[in-house]
Amino acid sequence: MISNHSELTKIQYKSLLLIALLQGLTLLLLHQALEFKWVIAESPAVLFACYSVAIIFPTLSIYGITQQTTRKYYWFISLFTLFCAALGAYTGSQISSLSSDSLGMYSFTYGLVMTVVVFKVLLFSQALIDDSKKCSIDYSLLIQCACHLFITLFFAALFTLVMWLILMLWAELFAAINITVFQRLFYEPWFFYPMLTLSHTLGVLKVRDNASVVNTVNRLIQVLSLALLPLLVMLSSLFLVALLFQGLQPIWDNGGSALIFTLLIAILLTLNTALQSSEGQLLKHHWTRIALTLGVIFLPVYVAISGYGLYQRIEQYGLSVDRLWAIFIWTFVAVYFFCYSAAIIKYKVKWYAYLGNINTKLGLTLVAALLATQSPLLDFRKLSVSSQLAQIESGHIDINDVDLDYLAFNLGRPGNEALKRLQQEYGNTNPALNTRIEAVLNRVTNIYGNPNIEQLDVTTLLQPNAYLSIEQLPLTLLSRIQSYAKHTNTHLFNSKKLDIIAVDIHGDTQKEYILIAHFEYYFEYVLFYQLDGNWLEKSMDITHSRNPFIEKHVIDALIKQQYTTQEPKFKDIIVNGETMQVR
């Protein structure tokens, strides 16, 4: 659609600056909509769609328009922006809560995916050769555009950061002499949104005006990548030899799968940065090409190792959004290296001459797959919910051990629908689970906190034990626990269960009670005691560093009444009626 020529006419130059200004103003309006809770901010679907349009169309314009840009490119980026807006609307529609945490989590994932997609689409459009016979992608031009794009992006971001820091220095210097007008001005949203978009666009245009500098940096990056590539391949080869003696168990014990995965991605990126040309530039010595070829052909072994580690986690805990993303990335890394190995087997040491065909096809497939993840076709939230429900139905996960917060706040609308389904299936026979689900759903629907918990009964979470039944507890104590949960610590409603243990701290006939709340990764302890006929409470803690495994043993011992007491090491000091305590 467009060539790699980066020069602009004066009209295009001014038009891109105008687009940047309009982008800043649009982002300002969306910021104000969230800040002042306008009607548009009540719909995450509309918000995501608007942000998609405000960011994607200007980005494709600023980075893609040149003197050779045709009308087709303008139609393409317009339709593509509308398509991405539709995907954004779908992603936003899956958000069940308008809390900042939910919006932030969804927007980060969606933003990261769309950033990769937009820049890859931009690269493919720049490398597209459209003649009268057929359309094809010039790989040498594609890889050159990719390097130029990342160099431009880096220097434009650096220019924007420096511009911002200079303005902050300006504001603080004048504030030091009691002139605060600039400090107020530069921190206002209506100033920094247009300023950031304009400075970023100006940085992009200035870098594009100096193509010779970009070409020089690109050659430098290629030379450095060529120097790093043998080192990375040697590292992978030596590590593979070490595995033959050490075995795989240390990898699983020390979290080495993630490091192997990082090594594979580093080799993949360095390899393609170094091999921008399929001729002569690769390696001058034949033996070096052979060594590199042998190193690359064994990389699928690492892929298999990291894949097995990922499989073990999924087999044990089921699918989650994070694990699905890990599967997604692993799949593409695996396909890349298996294709490279197949090329080596077929073409021997000249395999790198066929990288272009492999990378182009897999790159287009990657774009399509990334777009599918933001659509109903490959929604990781729904897949994760299905996996969690299957784990429950098969008995791999006990219904009382389900992470309700994860379903409610990490899996959006599908997660909330799953919670309601669990409530219908198990709520009548499991009052404690019903109370926990009700509390979580109340927190989801009330985004400003203060969940409506007046109808919930925290005592349904209390677990009897062999040494104390619920019927033995004083009614006044149960009433105090309920009041404490409703008005002081509503987080108790989210606990998996509550243990109540009778203890005798003072060595008299009057009992105290320790309430223990079980959460996903930690415990909370509250002591209830009587003073002048009234029940009061104080928080408790274990003196050693938090360790759930140790704490479980402590709780079991407490339930079995296997404990002793000791006098405090330091007595209280009374001064003029005030008490000083050593904690």
Tokens 């409610």 locate to 408
pLDDT at 227: 81
What would the mean pLDDT of 563-572 be, rounded to a whole number? Answer: 82
Does 31 share its domain with 87? yes
Cα–Cα distance list, 372 to 51, 55, 90, 297 (Å): 19, 20, 11, 31
What would the mean pLDDT of 388-416 be, rounded to a whole number? Answer: 85
pLDDT at 366: 95
Query: Is 430 within the bounds of a domain?
Result: no
In contact, 9 and 211? CB cutoff 8 Å: no
The yes-or-no verdict on residue 158 having pLDDT over 90 is yes
Q: Residue 328: what residue type? A: F
The mean-pLDDT minimum among 220-224, 253-257, 309-313 falls in 253-257
pLDDT at 121: 93
Does 284 share its domain with 371? yes
What would the mean pLDDT of 390-406 be, rounded to a whole number? Answer: 84
**Token code pair at residue 555:** 């709780």
CA atoms within 13 A on the CB side of 315: 6
Does 462 share its domain with 337? no
> Which run of H or of E encompasses 540?
strand 534-540
What would the mean pLDDT of 499-517 be, rounded to a whole number? Answer: 86
**pLDDT, tens digit, 9 for 90 and up, residues 526-555:** 999 988 888 999 888 887 656 777 788 888
In contact, 274 and 226? CB cutoff 8 Å: yes
Does 54 share its domain with 166? yes
Q: Which of 363, 378, 393 corresponds to the end of one domain?
A: 378
Q: With pLDDT > 70 as the criterion, what percentage of the chain qualifies?
A: 90
pLDDT at 301: 85
pLDDT at 542: 80
Look at residue 516 and give its three-state secondary structure.
Answer: strand
Pairing of strands 523-531, 534-540: antiparallel
Does 40 share its domain with 126? yes
Q: How many domains does the chain have?
A: 3
In contact, 561 and 467? CB cutoff 8 Å: yes
Does 90 share its domain with 174? yes
What is the sign, positive or negative, of the torsion defined by CA atoms of 423, 428, 432, 434? positive
Does 67 share its domain with 173? yes
Query: Is 409 within the bounds of a domain?
Result: no
> Which run of H or of E encompasses 181?
helix 181-186
Residues with Cβ < 8 Å from 469, sequence gap 6 or more?
none
Higher per-residue pLDDT: 418 or 104: 418
Q: Residue 412: what residue type? A: G
- Please name which of 193, 202, 201 lies closest in space to residue 27, comparing C-alpha atoms: 193
Query: Is 172 within the bounds of a domain?
Result: yes
Does 327 share its domain with 360? yes
In this structure, the number of other CB atoms found within 10 A of the CB of residue 187 comes to 12
pLDDT at 5: 44
The yes-or-no verdict on residue 362 having pLDDT over 70 is yes
- Please name which of 433, 551, 536, 421 lies closest in space to residue 493, comparing C-alpha atoms: 433
- Please name which of 170, 169, 151, 166 lies closest in space to residue 199, comparing C-alpha atoms: 166
Higher per-residue pLDDT: 399 or 28: 28
Q: Which of 209, 240, 274 corresponds to the end of one domain?
A: 209
Does 40 share its domain with 168? yes
pLDDT at 372: 96
The yes-or-no verdict on residue 135 having pLDDT over 80 is no
CA distance 156 to 27: 19
The yes-or-no verdict on residue 56 having pLDDT over 90 is yes
pLDDT at 1: 41
Higher per-residue pLDDT: 353 or 369: 369
Query: Is 449 within the bounds of a domain?
Result: no
Does 20 share its domain with 129? yes
**pLDDT, tens digit, 9 for 90 and up, residues 180-222:** 888 888 888 899 899 999 999 999 999 988 888 888 888 888 8
Query: Is 142 within the bounds of a domain?
Result: yes
In contact, 573 and 579? CB cutoff 8 Å: yes
**pLDDT, tens digit, 9 for 90 and up, residues 108-126:** 889 999 999 999 999 998 8
pLDDT at 277: 59
> Can you name the residues that pair with 574 across neighbouring β-strands?
579
Cα–Cα distance list, 505 to 107, 354, 387, 464, 508 (Å): 51, 77, 47, 21, 8
CA distance 72 to 82: 16
Query: Is 79 within the bounds of a domain?
Result: yes
Q: What is the pTM of this model?
A: 0.80
The yes-or-no verdict on residue 101 having pLDDT over 70 is no
Q: How big is the chain, counted in residues?
A: 583
Does 177 share its domain with 108? yes
CA atoms within 13 A on the CB side of 75: 4
Residues with Cβ < 8 Å from 50, sequence gap 6 or more?
26, 30, 40, 85
Distance in angstroms between the alpha carbons of the first and the last residue of the chain: 72
Dihedral angle of Cα 488, 493, 496, 497, to the nearest 10 degrees: 70
Query: Is 434 within the bounds of a domain?
Result: no
Query: Is 331 within the bounds of a domain?
Result: yes
pLDDT at 102: 62
pLDDT at 369: 96
Does 218 share its domain with 158? no
The yes-or-no verdict on residue 447 having pLDDT over 80 is no
pLDDT at 546: 65
pLDDT at 533: 83
Range of the domain at 69: 10-209
Query: What does the radius of gyration of the chain's CA atoms come to, in whole angstroms?
Result: 31
What would the mean pLDDT of 442-446 be, rounded to a whole number? Answer: 70
Q: Which of 361, 378, 395 corresponds to the end of one domain?
A: 378
> Which run of H or of E encompasses 66?
none
Cα 10 → chain centroid? 41
